Amino acid sequence: MIRLILLFLLTGLALPAAAQQTQCHLPERLSVAACDSRSRDGQDAAARGTPGDFDFYVLALSWSPAFCEQARDRAGVDLQCRRNRFGFVVHGLWPQYGPGKASGWPQFCTPTAPVPEATLRRALCLMPSEKLVQCEWAKHGTCSDQPTPDAYIDKIQRLMSTLILPDFSKGGSQTVGEIADAFIKANSGKTLTAAHLRIDLTRDGKLEDVRICYEKRLNQFQACGQTVSGFDPADPRDRGRRVLIRAMAPS
C-alpha cells in the first residue's frame, strides 16, 4: 500500500513551502542505500573540510518541473517525477565558505552510515529522492554543525516552514530580477533582499535552482557574496537575464 500525504494547494500568488506540491505519495518501502557519489566519474568527490568549520549556509531550492524534463528517462526519479507533482523542492542545505578559501564549500567531511528509513520518510516530501537525501547528508550535512541526519533534516524543515514560495506553476518567461522580486514580495517583512539570492539556470536557460543564503545560526539572511554560484539579481548585468520557467504538469 502507498502511504498518501495530502498537502493542500493554496490559491494566490504565493504558496507556503509545504504547498508547492498538491500531494505527496510515498512508497511503503524505501531504499536506504548509502550515497555512491564518490564512485561516479566526473564528480568532485574529494573530502575536504571539518564539521562545523564554515561561514554561512545556502538553502538550495530546485524547480522540479525542469529537473523532471531532463531526467524523465533516468532511473530512480519515479517518486519525484511520476508519483508526485512538485514545484520547488529542497536540493540541499549547504555549508559555505566566504572569500579567501581554496574552494567554495566543504564536503564529505566525515564518513557516515546511511540515513535511516524513518529519517528518509520525514524528508522525502521536501527532498523527493532517497539518493538525494543520502548524498546531501553525506556530502553537505556531515560538514554542517548538525550532529545527525535527523538534526540536519529538522533544520531544513524549520527553514522551509518559515518561507513563502512564489507560484510559478503556470511557467512562462521572467527575468532573473523578476524571479528574485517574486521571492522578496512573497516574504515581505522578513528582510529578504536580492543580495541574499542567486538564480541558477539549466544549460538551455530554464530555471533550475533558487539559492537563499543564511547566516550560520540560520536566524537571518546573509548576502551570498562571490563564493555562491548563480546569477546575482542585485547585479544589473545579471538582473535582466531572461529565464524560461517550465510549467508544472497538469494534476
Which residues are identified as catalytic?
91, 136, 140
Query: Would you give the DSSP letter of residue 19?
Result: G
**CB within 8 Å of 170: residues ≥ 6 apart:** 247, 248
How far, rounded to the nearest angstrom, does the alpha carbon of residue 93 sit from its chain's CA centroid? 7
Contact 143, 54 (CB under 8 A): yes
Helices (H), the chain: 64-71, 78-81, 117-123, 130-139, 149-162, 176-186, 236-239
The whole-angstrom separation of Cα 43 and Cα 45 is 6
CA angle centred on 140, ends 67 and 228, rounded to 5°: 70
